[in-house]
Amino acid sequence: MLRNLVKKSIIARRILRRWRLSCLQPDWEPIIARDGEIWRNARSAPKKKRVLIATSVGAHLPCATLESFLAVALTLRETEVHFLLCDGVLPACMDCSLGITIGEKKLAEETAQAYLCKACFRYTAKMFSTLGLKIHRYSDYLSDKDKQEAREVSSAVSLDKIAGYTYKGISVGNHAMAGALRFYARGDLNEEPYAGQIARHYLNASVLTAIATQKLLDTFKFDTAVFHHGIYVPQGIIGEVCRQNKVPVVNWSIAYRKSSFIFSHNDTYHHTLMTEPVDSWKEMRWNDRMEEAILSYLKSRWDGSRDWIWFHEKPSNDVTRFAMQMGIDFSKPCVGLLTNVMWDAQIHYPARAFPDMLAWLIYTIEYFRSRPELQLIIRVHPAEIWGKQPSRQKVTDELKKHVQNIPPNVFVIPPEARISTYAVMMQCNTVIIYGTKTGVELASYGIPVVVAGEAWIRNKGLSIDATSEPTYRSILDTIPLKNRLDSKMLREARKYAFHFFFRRMIPLSYMKPVKGWPLYSMEIESLSKILQGNDTAVDIICNGILNGYDFVYPKELEFR
């Protein structure tokens, strides 16, 4: 009976997804009809650049929506835009979500093609066709021989060798494993009976993507390739092939603030934000109004009122009552620890001091076993259960397996707890993180932050960064710290938070929030609104794509 309910639930979600694909995709036809002369002139104008928008997964509606918008904006700027869409040739991709779009047995034994691909391609291809721009299909660049080669390659690689597998110099295995981990929402595949088949489907898809992308680049010379995220299958593979062919890459992703997006050059922003030069924000002129603005926004993040991505509905700030329930004594030195979602951390953040987040977490607990005078408060990420794709490998379950008897001075706050993460961490002497963005926020409140993995606050001079297990231990030995951040460092932390949340997150007013998936829909009155010089945000994005400029929105100018 339960199996039938789950099956019906997946079918219902597919039906709802198709309805949303047909109803919420941008309808460019009436817009182009109203501004026919503008569009005809743009289409017929001599082209200065050629850009590939490698959407690939048409069913990813947020992606298709924004990338159609980018295509129009770039075309209005004398650019020849090409689309790349998968037309149902990949056996697995990022559209596969366990229990949401497809079951694991069906994906393992039958692949996604019979269940997801038709609707995925049909609606988006129709929408893109309205624009009259060139659409490339994966199948245009894949022969029967190519498909056979991909099957043979993927079937010959054992599960434990997939992550490190390369195909013609492309690290296809890394992205294939990332895709499988994302599908399972786990940090490893040790307990999954269908993991071998599914991981090989992702490897097959990765090889096919590499072949198709290479043939496309052999046929057309592109000045830039633009696509969502830059990891997983197929986007991660497209990025690898483009970089190998020295085609500049621009990746983008939905940001946290409503109607805002992050763009980055050459790689996903999860990586580039860690290597971004500090002078991109340290030289910014600072004033009290800017400080007030960022502090107001950071406070709004406690309840997510100004964001379209948050993981807690109406959290409680009553730390006194919570402390009594948990047995925490805030009059004693407390150290906070914030986890990531396990599968997300495995994919987005290369380890630094530890091989993975779980190893760091276990080490830290054992260390605090020897420091009974301190209290370690572990806050498990609420996105484990409240995120779009709930984790199937939970931190609390892993701790039960790997840690015998949690020490009495270590407190684990489960993901379902309604207490505000911010309210608890504000009571701590120091907070230790692995890869969460919350480090940026906590430093802005003056709280010392220790980084053990890869977080965006690393390398900014604002945190205490561990580069190895011994250095991490030596850092822990200094806790509790005597002071919070001094006034100079506090100002720098707030400047970086301003840069991160207000400048790197570029606002696009045309993307209006909607309830539930796909998070937003497009509303635009006229093409004239996004012509060169008429919208600062659109100009910054297009100039970044076409000319390699930084993707930084000059929010500070509003405070001069």
* Residue recorded with tokens 């006034």: 487
Asked if residue 422 is part of any domain, the answer here is yes
**Residue 135 to residues 22, 228, 427: CA-CA distances in angstroms?**
19, 17, 55
Domain that holds residue 390: 308-485
Of residues 26, 44, 47, 60, the one with CA closest to residue 128: 26
235 lies in the same domain as 326: no
| Cα 180 from Cα 171, distance rounded (Å) | 15
CATH of the domain at 112: 3.40.50
Asked if residue 222 is part of any domain, the answer here is yes
Terminal alpha carbon distance of the chain: 64
| Cα 351 from Cα 560, distance rounded (Å) | 41
Task: Walk along the chain (560 residues) and give the pLDDT tens digit of each residue.
Answer: 434 444 457 777 767 767 677 678 899 999 999 999 999 999 999 999 999 999 999 999 999 999 999 999 999 999 999 999 999 999 999 999 998 889 999 999 999 898 899 889 999 999 999 999 999 999 999 999 999 999 999 999 999 999 999 999 999 999 999 999 999 999 899 889 999 999 999 999 999 999 999 999 999 999 999 999 898 999 999 999 999 999 999 999 999 999 999 999 999 888 898 889 999 899 999 999 999 999 999 999 999 999 997 776 789 999 999 999 999 999 999 999 999 988 875 566 565 789 889 999 999 999 999 999 999 999 999 988 887 778 888 999 999 999 989 999 999 999 999 999 999 999 999 999 998 989 999 999 999 999 999 888 999 999 999 999 999 999 999 999 999 999 999 999 999 999 999 999 999 999 999 988 889 999 999 999 999 999 999 999 999 999 999 999 999 999 99
Look at the pTM and tell me if it is higher than 0.75.
yes
Tell me how far the alpha carbon of residue 230 is from its chain's centroid: 9
Q: Is the peptide bond before 408 cis (omega within 30 degrees of 0)?
A: no
Coil/strand/helix, residue 55: strand
What are the start-end ranges of the E strands in 16-163? 49-56, 79-85, 134-137
Structural domain count of the chain: 2
336 lies in the same domain as 236: no
C-alpha triplet 20, 21, 25: angle, nearest 5°: 100
221 lies in the same domain as 352: no
| Cα 203 from Cα 162, distance rounded (Å) | 7
Q: Is the peptide bond before 315 cis (omega within 30 degrees of 0)?
A: no
239 lies in the same domain as 360: no
CATH of the domain at 412: 3.40.50.2000
199 lies in the same domain as 51: yes
**Residue 454 to residues 192, 439, 468, 478, 512: CA-CA distances in angstroms?**
27, 11, 12, 21, 32
Contact of 54 with 227, CB cutoff 8 Å = yes
415 lies in the same domain as 328: yes
**Residue 394 to residues 364, 377, 382, 390, 534: CA-CA distances in angstroms?**
17, 17, 11, 9, 48
Q: Phi first, then psi: what are they for 84, rounded to 5°?
A: -125, 125
Asked if residue 262 is part of any domain, the answer here is no
Of residues 87, 79, 86, the one with CA closest to residue 222: 79
Domain boundary among 216, 247, 278: 247
Asked if residue 554 is part of any domain, the answer here is no
Q: What is the DSSP letter of 138?
A: G
The structure tokens listed for 202 are 């992702």
Q: What is the DSSP letter of 221?
A: -
Domain boundary among 224, 247, 270: 247
Asked if residue 255 is part of any domain, the answer here is no
The structure tokens listed for 506 are 């570029």
φ/ψ bin of 482: left (φ > 0), alpha (ψ from -120 to 50), beta (otherwise): alpha
Contact of 254 with 309, CB cutoff 8 Å = yes
For the beta carbon of residue 244, count every other beta carbon within 10 angstroms. Answer: 15
Contact of 402 with 362, CB cutoff 8 Å = yes
